[in-house]
Amino acid sequence: MLRQLHQKLRGRKVIVTRMYSSKESMEDKLDPLNRLCKIMMSCPKLGLDTELDQSGIRISSEMLDDALKRFENAGMLAYRLFEWAGKQHNYEHSTRSYHIMIESLAKIRQYQIMWDLVNKMKTKGMLNIETFCIIMRKYARAQKVEEAVYTFNIMNKFDVPSNLAAFNGLLSALCKSKNVRKAQEIFDSKKHEFVPDSKTYSILIEGWGRAPNLPKAREVYREMIEVGCNADIVTYGIMVDILCKAGRVDEAVAIVKEMEFSGCRPTSFIYSVLVHTYGLENRIEDAIDTFLEMEKNGVEADVAVYNSLISAFCKVNKFKNIYRVLNDMQLKGVTPNARTCNIILSGLIARGETDDAFKVFRRMLKICDPDADTYTMMIKMFCERNELKMAHKVWKYMKRKQFVPSMHTFSAFINGLCDNADVSRACVLMEEMIEKGMRPGRMTFEKLRQLLLKEGREDVLEFLQLKINLMVREPLSD
């Protein structure tokens, strides 16, 4: 049974590869990146190098960077391409290519391979501050705080002197991962070694604001002023943001007026925060007034401000106004992005208006590229409606656009298939997910495991568990 399943899965992929090889379109011939991505999407992992060698594609740093970004959710598959490219004649990896690959590997916790790349960069004299800031960010995001601090401390051993930029990078990584207390501790112990600037203080203020700990944020702000660091537009923006998040929008407005009095004009970001906060508080008239005030003050609305206004209208279920906002964006030449689409879709799905959600999805496809959240929402929506054919259509469209699904997208579809007892297809997706270097979440795997046991397919379960065990041995997590 296991052998038959494995052959069936492999057979499918071989057929797809052959179809690609024999029916290559003229467009693909003219677009090497498109050809490269099609090979990556369709070729079995074991035959990837051979298929790439036979393609005749001449790799460049720009092409590799674009491909790696497209496959950033499939770290090990991206690494196979990275390794293949490094062996090509008259080609050398750029610093940017190394950085993209390091980020991709860290995302799936392949830390040993990540550090192997760092050592290779060292031998080539390519390491810089940004290399270590990327690693610190990724460790902090994975809640590996000590590893993030260790990375900062060993920079000198890699002949990259730590400076204020690296210090700020460490503090930022810790604050954004909700480890602001550790960041403050490090700041207090090293602020005489690295003279802080307004960016340093802004990072800490923002960190305490997210904690949330408004008194501590104010304390750091006062210290900044006392040591002679003047607040800049970034600091003001952070203070407005954390005050709004603390429910003190009127105090945030007072800061905006203070800025205007001192000749510092508020940015579109600050206006977007105010509009968004008014929306959350159902103060829709204040949100509209703030938007109009921004335009009156000569600040051009960007997509972030429009998204905040759309979100405010979603909150009060005024969807007709949302379509008016979209028309206004078109008139002003502001292109909606995936976030715009996701806000509207989320609002419609929450109201149970799934038909309208699908109409919006189809309309937005003509304007902007969906992101992983967009695809995940649509697939989950169709699965919950027991419309697996439509979920599969969205999945196929995503693949046709050469978008590599995220772990959450895979999980949404696998869960939907399990809920509808489509075990075979769930297994195919589970294997694809694992082969792309993504560990399935505990709950997703458990759901599939129970179905396989119920159907007496222990051999398939053993096969999938074996593939997971071949990955880095870390616990499953959702």
Quickly count: other Cβ atoms within 10 Å of residue 451's Cβ.
Answer: 19
Least confident of 188-197, 252-261, 358-367: 252-261
CA distance 375 to 394: 7
**pLDDT at position 45:** 62
Quickly count: other Cβ atoms within 10 Å of residue 54's Cβ.
Answer: 11
The SS3 assignment for 355 reads helix
**pLDDT at position 261:** 79
The SS3 assignment for 458 reads helix
- In this predicted structure, the answer to whether residue 404 has a pLDDT above a threshold of 90 is no
The SS3 assignment for 193 reads coil
192 secondary structure, DSSP code: T
Question: Mean pLDDT, to the nearest integer, of 52-65?
Answer: 87
DSSP result, 103-171: HHHHHTT-HHHHHHHHHHHHHTT---HHHHHHHHHHHHHTT-HHHHHHHHHTGGGGT----HHHHHHHH
- In this predicted structure, the answer to whether residue 11 has a pLDDT above a threshold of 50 is no
Tokens for 178? 């909700």
CA distance 265 to 357: 38
User: pTM for this one?
Assistant: 0.68
Burial 57-94 (b: 16+ CB within 10 A, else e): bebeeebbbebbebbbbbbbbbbbbbebbeeeeeeebe
**pLDDT at position 28:** 45
Question: Mean pLDDT, to the nearest integer, of 159-181?
Answer: 96
What is the total residue count of the chain?
Answer: 478
CA distance 372 to 231: 37
The SS3 assignment for 49 reads helix
- In this predicted structure, the answer to whether residue 17 has a pLDDT above a threshold of 50 is no
Residue 185, CB-side half-sphere exposure with 13 Å CA sphere: 7
Amino acid at 232: D
Q: Sign of the C-alpha dihedral, residues 91, 95, 96, 101?
A: positive
The SS3 assignment for 245 reads helix
**pLDDT at position 252:** 92
CA distance 118 to 137: 15
Dump pLDDT digits (tens) for 188-235: 999 999 999 999 999 999 999 988 899 999 999 999 989 988 888 899
Confidence class for position 265, pLDDT limits 50, 70, 90: confident
Residue showing tokens 């997703």: 444
Amino acid at 58: R
Largest Cα–Cα distance of the chain, in whole Å?
Answer: 76
Specify the long-range contacts of residues 356-361, CB closer than 8 Å, at least 24 apart.
356/319, 357/381, 358/390
Q: How many helices (H) and strands (E) does the chain have?
A: 28, 0
**pLDDT at position 413:** 95
Question: Mean pLDDT, to the nearest integer, of 232-254?
Answer: 91
- In this predicted structure, the answer to whether residue 12 has a pLDDT above a threshold of 70 is no
Cis preceding linkage at 370, omega within 30: no
**pLDDT at position 434:** 87
CA distance 242 to 205: 9
**Residues whose CB is less than 8 angstroms from the CB of residue 369 and which lie 6 or more positions away in sequence, other chains included:** 338, 401, 403
Dump pLDDT digits (tens) for 138-148: 999 999 999 99
CB 278 within 8 A of CB 312: yes
- In this predicted structure, the answer to whether residue 358 has a pLDDT above a threshold of 70 is yes
Q: Distance between the two ends of the chain, CA-based, in angstroms?
A: 30
CB 198 within 8 A of CB 227: no
**pLDDT at position 26:** 43
Residue 303, CB-side half-sphere exposure with 13 Å CA sphere: 12
CB 72 within 8 A of CB 100: yes
CB 349 within 8 A of CB 357: yes
Q: Where are the domains of the chain?
A: 405-477
CA distance 392 to 437: 22
**pLDDT at position 46:** 66
- In this predicted structure, the answer to whether residue 275 has a pLDDT above a threshold of 90 is yes
- In this predicted structure, the answer to whether residue 268 has a pLDDT above a threshold of 60 is yes
Mean pLDDT of the chain: 87
CA distance 430 to 424: 10
CA distance 171 to 188: 11
Least confident of 119-123, 315-319, 332-336: 315-319
CA distance 179 to 148: 11
Least confident of 21-25, 31-35, 43-47, 222-226: 21-25
